[in-house]
Amino acid sequence: MKVLVSGGGTGGHIYPAISIVRYIKEKYPDSEFLYIGTEKGLESKLVPNQHIPFKTIEIQGFYRTLTLKNFKTVYLFLTSIKQAKKYIKEFQPDIVIGTGGYVCGSVVYAASKLNIPTIIHEQNSVAGMTNKFLSKYVDKVGICFTDAAEYFPKEKVALVGNPRAQEVMMVDKKEVLEEYGLDSDKPTIVIFGGSRGAQTINNAMKEALPLFKGKPYQVLYASGTIYFDEFKEKEELIKQLTNVTVVPYIDNMIDVLINVEALVGRAGATSMAEITALGLPSILVPSPNVTDDHQTKNAKSLVDKQAALMIKDSELTGKSLVEQVDKLMLDDNYRQTMAKASKAEGIPDAMDRLYGLIQELT
């Protein structure tokens, strides 16, 4: 089987695509793959590192305000469709899968016009503009949140979940907290703001550090590399806090998540898939700087099921952070109840479901 995948811009679009490729490759080693992305996007770094054949097209997203730059966007969209068709004709895929981001708009649209079976995957509870557009042309739409169904033609929609969730479930547990100077036998919460960090969470953590002193639980905080230097002035305090570790980045995040009791973080699609797959209680701080405030809607899907707590970004302080962490970490029964609710929202067989759609179309 030949599979062409496209998705880019953010890790939330790219990681599911990579997970799909890994899964099919493991199931059918003779399968061939091609990934189409952009030269400037994150996919240009992540995909080649996975030894997946990679080609690029030039395209940019639409600006939501009236601007002459959108004329260039239209021009690039039309020329990128032509380039995508060239790649598709050369590769001759059995199926084309788009996982979001404007790059897959040209690729999946081109495939549909060439009568290649097509699937798009929507990770968030609010559909992105590209996927809304593509849903008119594709054969199937895979969603992760039931709320997303309203944006697409009903007859095309299938609840499949995020492929990242099933991949997380396949990781073997091993003790890793000692690598961060922590004790594997103590309840631990990990706090992070994404790969680059988040300024609001960072500011709250600086205020919260002295408030964590003497707590019967541990805190592992990943500040993001661009914010790590801000903790230099807190270095002496951090040394005195035997239950708190601050690092710039956590390379083995999945291994860490398997070994902690709870987390604090943003409400991006990948994080949500990992949280529910592992059944982790969480305190979510949705980013306000995303399209259609979709992270708040992602978070509310868990909060409404008593599977998570939420703090608005504008209301996050050191005090409010510690209050919510205490609420979670000092009450074992409450935390375990939330863990069960979180687990119930997960879709652990996401890749199997998505592959089922592929089989329907090929």
Radius of gyration from C-alpha coordinates of the chain: 21
Q: Check whether 184 has a pLDDT greater than 80.
A: yes
Instruction: Report H helices in 92-227.
Output: 103-113, 129-134, 163-169, 199-208
| Residue owning tokens 């730059």 | 69
What is the predicted pLDDT for the residue at 67? 64
What is the predicted pLDDT for the residue at 334? 97
- Interior/surface letters 76-85, b for 16+ CB within 10 angstroms, e for the rest: bbeebbebbb
Residues of the binding site: 10-12, 124, 195, 250, 295
Work out the pLDDT band at 68, boundaries 50, 70, 90: low
What is the predicted pLDDT for the residue at 65? 62
**Correct CATH for 177-344 of 3.40.50.2000, 3.40.190.10, 3.40.50.2300, 2.60.40.1760:** 3.40.50.2000
Work out the pLDDT band at 59, boundaries 50, 70, 90: confident
Give the best-scoring range by mean pLDDT among 58-67, 104-113, 251-260: 104-113
Strands 218-222 and 309-310: unpaired
CB count in 10 Å sphere of residue 174: 10
Work out the pLDDT band at 122, boundaries 50, 70, 90: very high
Work out the pLDDT band at 245, boundaries 50, 70, 90: very high
Q: Check whether 240 has a pLDDT greater than 70.
A: yes
Lowest mean pLDDT among 43-47, 173-177, 194-198: 194-198
195 versus 29: the higher-pLDDT residue is: 29
- The answer to whether 120 and 106 have CB atoms below 8 angstroms apart is no
Q: Check whether 72 has a pLDDT greater than 90.
A: no
Mean pLDDT of the chain: 92
Kindly report whether the global pTM for this prediction surpasses the value 0.85.
no
Ranges assigned E (strand) in the chain: 2-6, 32-37, 54-56, 95-98, 118-122, 140-143, 157-159, 188-192, 218-222, 244-247, 262-265, 282-284, 309-310
Task: Give 319-354 pLDDT, tens digit per residue.
Answer: 999 999 999 999 999 999 999 999 999 998 999 999
User: Quick one: what percent of the chain has pLDDT higher than 90?
Assistant: 73
Which structure tokens are listed for 81? Answer: 């469709």
DSSP-derived letter for residue 265 is: E
- The answer to whether 192 and 205 have CB atoms below 8 angstroms apart is no
Q: Check whether 200 has a pLDDT greater than 90.
A: yes
Work out the pLDDT band at 71, boundaries 50, 70, 90: low
- Strand, coil or helix: 211: helix
What is the predicted pLDDT for the residue at 328? 96
Handedness of CA 170, 174, 180, 185 (dihedral sign): positive
Q: Check whether 34 has a pLDDT greater than 70.
A: yes
- Name residues whose C-beta falls within 8 Å of residue 15's C-beta, 6 or more positions apart in sequence: 46, 164, 270
CA separation for the pair 121, 112 (Å, rounded): 15
Partners of residue 55 on adjacent β-strands: 36
- The answer to whether 102 and 108 have CB atoms below 8 angstroms apart is no
Q: Check whether 235 has a pLDDT greater than 90.
A: no
Domain 2-162+348-361: give its CATH superfamily: Glycogen Phosphorylase B; (3.40.50.2000)
CA separation for the pair 187, 329 (Å, rounded): 8
User: Quick one: what percent of the chain has pLDDT higher than 70?
Assistant: 96
What is the predicted pLDDT for the residue at 70? 64
- Name residues whose C-beta falls within 8 Å of residue 69's C-beta, 6 or more positions apart in sequence: 63
- The answer to whether 182 and 218 have CB atoms below 8 angstroms apart is yes
CA separation for the pair 263, 220 (Å, rounded): 9
Q: Check whether 106 has a pLDDT greater than 90.
A: yes
Q: Check whether 63 has a pLDDT greater than 70.
A: no
**Total number of residues shown for the chain:** 362
Residues of the binding site for UDP-N-acetyl-alpha-D-glucosamine: 10-12, 124, 195, 250, 295
Could you write out the DSSP letters of every residue in 286-333?
--SSSGGGHHHHHHHHHHTTTS-EE--GGG--HHHHHHHHHHHHS-HH
- The answer to whether 231 and 238 have CB atoms below 8 angstroms apart is yes
- Strand, coil or helix: 38: coil
Task: Give 280-307 pLDDT, tens digit per residue.
Answer: 999 999 999 887 888 999 999 999 999 9
Same topology for domains 2-162+348-361 and 177-344, yes or no?
A: yes
* Average confidence (pLDDT) over 110-135: 94
* Average confidence (pLDDT) over 61-77: 68
What is the predicted pLDDT for the residue at 62? 63
- Domain ranges for the chain: 2-162+348-361, 177-344
CA separation for the pair 69, 74 (Å, rounded): 9
Provide φ and ψ at 142, rounded to 5°: -95, 130
